[in-house]
Chains A and B, each alone.
Chain A
Amino acid sequence: MTDRLTVADFPLAETAPQRIRGARGKPLDELTLDAVAQGDVTIEDLRITADALRAQGQIARAAGRTTLAQNFDRGAELVAVPQDLIMATYEMLRPGRAPNRQALLDQAAMFRRDHGAEEIARFLETAADHYHRRGLVTE
């Protein structure tokens, strides 16, 4: 999905069903009751992909919703991130959990390095600055 999408491309499942694929690459029209009965469909096939989220981000931008698009971009970076890491990072962002500013910066660096998550990394770095300024974490 490299073309810039516009509001006319919404909803994607109707305008471009062939471009919509689940996490295992199955297109929508292969997700049938027969396929479910035969055990050919798993919950993975129903997971959203980073591509789909980025495409929704383009549509949101075209509709003038920049902040919503930024959230979809952050979400796209988290699609492949394991649930435990997501919950651990959420926990780290809660008040008094991160031992110091560096812990948050380290987490940011890890997201950038291991998950190619630039937006998430910058989000965590900004949080680290403000947490430090407000005394939620030490240096």
Chain B
Amino acid sequence: MTEPAQPNRWRRYSDWDGRPLRLDQFAREDPANGFAAFKSPADPKPGLTLAAGRVASMDGTLAHDFDMIDAFIAEYHLDPAIAAEAMAMDSALLARMLVDMHVPRTDLVRLAHGMTPAKLVDVVSRLNALEIAFAYSKMRPRKTPGNQAHVTNAKDDPLQLAADAAVAVGMGFDEIETTMRVARTAWSNALACLVGSSVGDWGTLFQCSSEEAEELRIGMAGFTSYAETVSVYGTERSFTDGDDTPWSKAFLVAAYASRGIKARCTSGGGAELLMGYHEAKSLLYLEARCLCLQRGMGVQGTQNGGIDGAPITASIAGGMREIMAENLLAVWLDLECASGNDARATESEIRVGAKILPYLLAGSDLICSGFGSILKYDNSFNPSLFNGEEMEDFLVLQRDFEADGGLTPMPESTALDLRARAVDAISAVLEELDLARPTAEMKASVIAASGSRETDTISTGETARISEAIQARGIDVIDVIRALQKRGFAHEAGNLLNMVKLRVSGDYLQTASIIRGGRILSAVNDPNDYAGPGTGYRLTEERRDQICDIRDQIGQPEVLNRQSRHRKAEARRIAYTSSGEAAQGRDKHEVVIGISPAYGLQLFQTTAELNLSDVLAALIRGVKAGGGKPRVLRMHHTADTSFIGLTAAELSGSGYGIGIQAKGTAVIHARGRMPHNNLELFSNAPITTLDHYESMGRNAALWAHGTPPEPVIVPTDGQALGARFHTEVALIHAIETSLTEPGRAPQEVQVSFADTGGEP
């Protein structure tokens, strides 16, 4: 006796194993080892006692036991005048206030000045993901959303940096950030991005992420305008392991202010976990400490939301919600938020899209920090959540949701012009300052290249020498402006001068400053005033038009154009001769083929790009092969396949007919059936072949002979045919329906095929 077969696996699991998602790791929740997003047994309960106007204990720790972070928060963040009121408030009430459009942002910001890290966590952890996104939209400091780009490449090539910076500026990024593969190229990278960002419109803030002292020097030379490398951590050991303290970082922040450089700190969930000093606390609690610390330091903003820790945070249950919650804490604490969405937290494109969506809908001071405007392999920060490859996906998401992600689609010719101008400008500056002489071949290869693997350009070693020369010779932004001017780049020179003049007033040091149209927008003069529908940030008609104007949109002119290109060729292949009103057929083996009003007259190819002459020939061949007698009628009263097919069947001597539209949808019908209850239907015209049409003709003939045939199946691979074709289908169908004449009877049509001497 044989055993029934016992499969060892449902093969769907093998399918799942093969998907990119399964490259991601997922961590088991384990608070003792730091793997907990929102709460851990080691997290303290909220609490605060004041004595003589000073903090005596906070979140269960006595002042004299405070670590450096507690001490700094107690010293500089907590406002004793507000703390008693804020800490006494019910956390559930505060949570509701965050999502209540009637409670002004300013009221909530004031209360946060008196709240401890554990209290802030107790409030925001009561919100679900949608509520967090809504609260974020209400609480973010600046009304107008913005975005930041990474501009780097694997060769530290100055020509490519300039070209890519120009494109990033042209697309509307408010800030661009560069860094290096080789530490010695910092000054060259800064110079190249600076010059590239001066092409086109001016007003993009620029950062060169490098070692602290060097970054400050590059800023002082006027090359850069902001810094966001001031990292802070939520445990004392992580801080000291990072070779800093809250005081050293706060001093650095004041130093940036003294040089007129916009600064923000960086912190994000998972950093302490990666560094090994998490104290078994939840990610959100540690992040609340980081953010209270940052407000205490007096930094205007934060790069926050997982950041380098985003991949490990996303591996934990609730991790993506935690990242949203920490961003909410940042803006509740009135910090400008460059909201992460930078590290590639997953290999799943679905998780990427899901990750970005709440930020796109809610808006953010800088949605990504930053968006990889270059290809993944060129990103010296590591691949971002979105990269050069996925730029157009982001642009389409903006259009889908009519949501401002800070970017504007750019015509291809504009991008090419910007790249050429930027490469010419940086080459002129390098020559004028006697730093390098890029050849015409180098320039051409960079202008056209999508990424550095395609360029034949200045070597990294040579770039390091350029960089060292810039530093050694004390070249500053004034030298660059003069070089541009001397070489005929007056527009770029003027742009750079405008940019550095802004530094003198210090206006862009205020919270959440960006530059739009030559003017500073910040939380001071563009405060988020959301108070319900019709308030807060709204797209203007002009901005909506910009966002929606993506490339390659199609309308009726494009469809007619595409079709008309085949008109002459079709006229050589087939002739349709009308011979009056169609009569009732008598031959019991007759199969009538009903064609739609525009078939072969205004429309010439199916959506599968088959010539309509070939399709009709295939149907006729099939009918004949099945022993039927084909007769062609043109329908005028309808453009609907079912009704075309049914009318064909009614007029057919056998009672069986075929209906076909110009786009290729075809049906076999029989006399007396309900219109939409056909015998066979080819609904997926874009994947229907001539063989399928021929088989349909044969099957119709078999029906006419009284033999129900084996139906023809058009196999699909699951393509999103609607997404690929429905726009064109609807436009084609509109052409057909516009030609219908309800009262006009079907016409007899003689078809002759020129190439075959009249035979199909």
A11-B520, A48-B259 known; A123-B68 Cβ under 8 A:
no
Q: B556 CB to closest chain A CB, in angstroms? A: 48
Q: Would B522 and A36 count as touching, CB distance under 8 A?
A: no
Determine how close the nearest CB of chain A comes to the CB of B87; give it in whole angstroms.
Answer: 19
B741 at the interface (CB under 8 A from A): no
With a CB–CB cut-off of 8 A, which chain A residues contact B153? none
Q: Given A46-B501, A90-B212, are A134 and B295 also a contact pair (CB < 8 Å)?
A: no
A67-B76, A81-B258 given; A134·B505 CB < 8 A: no
B477 interface residue per 8 A CB criterion: yes
Determine if A126 and B254 form an interchain contact, defined as CB atoms under 8 angstroms apart. no
- Chain A contact patch, size range: 35 or more
Spot the interface stretch: B179-187, B243-251, B578-586, B725-733: B243-251
A93 touches B257 (CB 8 A): no
CB neighbours (8 Å) of B494 from chain A are 33
CB-contact partner of A131 in B113, B212, B245, B525, under 8 A: B245
A71 touches B257 (CB 8 A): yes
The answer for the CA separation of A73 and B501 in the assembled complex, in Å, is: 21
Chain A residues with CB below 8 A from B71, complex form = 130, 133-134
Min C-beta distance of A116 to chain B, whole Å: 14
Taking the closest CB of chain A, its distance from the CB of B249, in whole angstroms, is 9
Contact of B244 among A31, A32, A79, A94 (CB under 8 A): A94
Q: Which of B91-99, B216-224, B744-752 interfaces with chain A?
A: B216-224
Q: Is the CB of B243 within 8 A of A93?
A: no
Closest B residue, CB atoms, query A42:
B478
- Is A28's CB under 8 angstroms from B501's CB? yes
Q: Are B296 and A89 closer than 8 Å at their CB atoms?
A: no
Contact B503 A46 (CB under 8 A): yes
Residues of A within 8 A of B77 (CB): 67
Do A65 and B503 touch (CB < 8 A)? Answer: no
Q: Is A70 an interface residue (CB 8 A)?
A: yes
Q: Is the CB of A133 within 8 A of B64?
A: yes
Identify which of residues 250-277 in chain B touch chain A, using a CB-to-CB cut-off of 8 Å. 250-260
Q: Is B490 engaged at the interface, CB distance under 8 Å to the other chain? A: yes
Q: How far, in angstroms, from A42 to B77 measured CA to CA in the complex? A: 39
Decide: A48 near B252, CB < 8 A? Known: A36-B497, A37-B485, A43-B221. no
Give chain B residues whose Cβ lies under 8 Å from the Cβ of A48.
258-260, 503-506
CA distance A11 to B513 in the complex (A): 10
Restricting to A16-49, which residues have a CB under 8 Å from any CB of B? 20-22, 28, 31-33, 36-37, 41-43, 45-49
**Contact for A56 among B64, B244, B507, CB less than 8 A:** B507
Q: Is B616 an interface residue (CB 8 A)?
A: no
Q: Which residues of B have CB within 8 Å of A79?
A: 258
Quick check: A74 and B247 within 8 Å, CB to CB?
Answer: no
A76, A77, A130: residue with the most chain B Cβ atoms closer than 10 Å: A130
Find the B residue at minimum CB distance from A68: B298
Would A78 and B254 be within 8 Å (CB), given that A56-B510, A60-B510 are in contact? yes
Bound CA–CA A59/B511 (angstroms)? 11
- How far is it, in angstroms, between the C-alpha of A53 and the C-alpha of B221 when the chains are bound? 19
Pair B250/A90 contact, Cβ less than 8 Å = no
A138 within 8 A of B: no
- Closest A residue, CB atoms, query B334: A65
Give complex CA distance A11, B260 in Å. 14
Q: Given A12-B506, A33-B497, A123-B251, A83 and B257 touching (CB < 8 A)?
A: no
Type the 1/0 row for B97-121, where 1 means its CB is closer than 8 Å to any CB of A: 0000000001001100100000000
Residues on B with C-beta less than 8 A from A109 are none
A33 and B250 contact, CB distance less than 8 A? no
Residues of A within 8 A of B510 (CB): 10-11, 56, 59-60, 63, 68
Question: Are A76 and B258 touching (Cβ within 8 A)?
Answer: yes
Task: Report the minimum CB–CB distance from B528 to chain A (whole Å).
Answer: 13
CB distance from A63 to the nearest CB of B (A): 5
Q: Are B75 and A126 in contact (CB under 8 A)?
A: yes
A110 at the B interface (CB under 8 A): no
Taking CB atoms, residues of chain A closer than 8 Å to B503 are 46-48
B residues near A127, Cβ cutoff 8 Å:
245, 247
Given that A67-B77, A130-B71 are known contacts, is A75 also in contact with B504, CB under 8 Å in the complex?
Answer: no
Residues of A within 8 A of B525 (CB): 7, 10-11
Instruction: Tell me which residues from 497 to 517 in chain B have a Cβ below 8 Å from any Cβ of chain A.
Output: 497, 500-507, 509-511
Which residues of B in the span 294-312 have a Cβ within 8 Å of any Cβ on A?
295-300
Q: Write out the residue numbers on chain A whose beta carbons fall within 8 Å of the beta carbon of B248.
A: 90, 93-94
Q: How far is the CA of A42 from the CA of B505 in the complex (A)?
A: 16
CB-contact partner of B522 in A10, A47, A49, A81, under 8 A:
A10
Interface centre among B64, B256, B505 (most CB of A within 10 A): B505
User: Is residue B493 contacting chain A, with contact meaning CB distance below 8 A?
Assistant: yes
Q: Judging by beta carbons under 8 Å apart, are A94 and B245 in contact?
A: yes
Please determine whether A75 and B493 come into contact, CB atoms closer than 8 angstroms: no
A14 at the interface (CB under 8 A from B): yes
Contact B245 A12 (CB under 8 A): no
Tell whether A63 pairs with B257 under 8 Å between CB atoms, given A33-B497, A46-B501: no
Q: Which residues of chain B from 49 to 79 have any CB-CB distance to chain A below 8 Å in the complex? A: 64, 66-68, 71-72, 75-77, 79
Q: Which of B75, B79, B236, B507 has the most CB of A within 10 A?
A: B507
Choice from A7, A53, A65, A83 contacting B506 with Cβ under 8 Å: A53
Query: Bound complex: CA of A90 vs CA of B553, how far in Å?
Result: 55
Q: Are A87 and B213 in contact (CB under 8 A)?
A: yes
B493 (CB) vs chain A CBs: closest residue = A33
B449 within 8 A of A: no
A83 engages B504 (CB within 8 Å): no
B519 interface contact, C-beta 8 A = yes
Confirm or deny: A120 has a beta carbon within 8 angstroms of a beta carbon on chain B. yes
Quick check: is B414 within 8 A (CB to CB) of the other chain? Answer: no
A52 touching B504, Cβ below 8 Å? yes
Q: In the complex, A65 Cα to B258 Cα: how many Å?
A: 18
Q: Smallest Cβ distance from A70 to chain B, in angstroms?
A: 5
Of all chain B residues, the one with the shortest Cβ separation from A13 is B505
B481 within 8 A of A: yes
A107 to nearest B CB, angstroms? Answer: 11
Q: 1/0 per position for B325-342, CB-CB distance to A under 8 A? A: 000000000100000000
B523 at the interface (CB under 8 A from A): yes
Nearest CB on A from B53, distance (A): 15
Cβ–Cβ contact B109 & A7, under 8 A: no
Is B240 an interface residue when CB atoms closer than 8 A count as contact? Answer: yes
Flag whether A121 is at the interface (Cβ < 8 A).
no
Please, how many angstroms separate the alpha-carbon atoms of A83 and B296 in the complex? Answer: 24
* Interface flags, A95-130, vs B, CB<8A=1, else 0: 100000000000000000000000010010011001
The complex places the Cα of A110 from the Cα of B77 at a distance, in Å, of: 27
Q: Find chain B residues with CB under 8 A from A55 CB.
A: 506
Other 5 A-B pairs with CB < 8 A, given A13-B504, A33-B497, A65-B511: A7-B525, A22-B504, A53-B509, A67-B298, A93-B248
**Could you list 17 examples of A-B contacts with CB < 8 Å?**
A11-B507, A28-B504, A33-B481, A36-B485, A46-B500, A48-B503, A55-B506, A71-B254, A74-B254, A74-B257, A81-B258, A83-B220, A87-B216, A94-B248, A130-B66, A130-B247, A134-B67
